[in-house]
Chain A
């Protein structure tokens, strides 16, 4: 049915496609895996050395459209002895997953304090891609991490609350509410993470205050042993869409 020439061309085209794809995938794989390693290193530095977290939230007249929430993080530390326990790559989605770990006897943390880490192994996971269209879930996961960091800081250090409230017949109406916090955080551990059906990411982070008190040789927070928070992050900005409509 198909002419011989067409058949030959088809075979040639299929051959070229097969020959070219591994080379293309290989380059992407290396880039994605390398990026995931860097992100895993950053996560470990944030966990062990620590990070600065600045979080501000404000709302006017309880109208969600006026809500502004911003969380920023910053860290710059040196750490050696990081090993990569687990490196996975999904060629279909071009997503690399790396689990990095480090085991140190002690460290001088972000606050300049020398902490006896008692050779505890810290482990963090990170994902990366070199395909921008596949970055949504990874961005959502990072947003969830930042949300968890901010929640931990608020639980440990507290926050500043500034507000204007109207009282009408003994009923309170929040006119404007603003919270802010800037603090350093260290030794936070990521215990679980994932994405729900709609694609929003979640991470569970814990601070073992008993262990930290032992390491620092001082009580960190009265009356608590473990603080656990769940951070959330979204892939889609439907808030901005609703705000603009």
Chain B
């Protein structure tokens, strides 16, 4: 009986110490600027995707280079696109030849929001 009590007490002590250690480690892991940097990266990505998704006639495959002025209007982020280059790399079919990789580039006004 005495031994089991001792064991129980020992187990409690071990659990308490390991728990405190884990909490201390977690606390340390949360501190610092890495979490803030990750949040900023996600925010930048979301902002960019919001701007690009607003562009009409996006190609299935291609690239978009844009410069826009972003501003808030009634709590909503709006984009005033100043410069844009959309390059399509979609495969286009030609009736007389085999499938080819076509390139179609749109710039400025044609693709503005």
Interface residues of A (CB under 8 A from B): 57-59, 62, 64, 67, 69, 155-170, 172, 174-175, 177, 179, 197-200, 221-224, 232, 234-239, 241-242
State in angstroms the CA–CA spacing of A69 and B39 once bound together.
Answer: 12
Inter-subunit contact B59/A167 (CB<8 Å): yes
Task: Report chain B residues within 8 Å CB of A239.
Answer: 32-34, 36-37
State in angstroms the CA–CA spacing of A117 and B91 once bound together.
Answer: 63
Known contacts: A179-B47, A224-B75. The answer to whether A158 contacts B70 by CB under 8 A is yes
Inter-subunit contact A165/B48 (CB<8 Å): yes
Q: Is B62 an interface residue (CB 8 A)?
A: yes
Interface residues of B (CB under 8 A from A): 27-28, 30-34, 36-38, 40-41, 44-45, 47-49, 51-53, 58-75, 79
Residue of B nearest to A62 (CB): B45
Task: Report chain B residues within 8 Å CB of A159.
Answer: 69-71
Residue of A nearest to B80 (CB): A158
State in angstroms the CA–CA spacing of A234 and B30 once bound together.
Answer: 10
Chain B binding site: helix, strand, loop or mixed by DSSP? mixed
Inter-subunit contact A177/B67 (CB<8 Å): no
Of B37, B61, B63, the residue contacting A67 (CB under 8 A) is: B37
Of A57, A157, A170, A222, the residue contacting B40 (CB under 8 A) is: A57
State in angstroms the CA–CA spacing of A66 and B69 once bound together.
Answer: 23
Inter-subunit contact B31/A160 (CB<8 Å): no
Inter-subunit contact A59/B41 (CB<8 Å): yes
Inter-subunit contact B31/A198 (CB<8 Å): yes
State in angstroms the CA–CA spacing of A166 and B59 once bound together.
Answer: 10
7 extra interchain contacts, Cβ-Cβ under 8 A, other than A224-B74, A237-B33? A57-B44, A67-B40, A158-B70, A164-B63, A224-B72, A235-B32, A236-B33
Task: Report chain A residues within 8 Å CB of B65.
Answer: 163-165
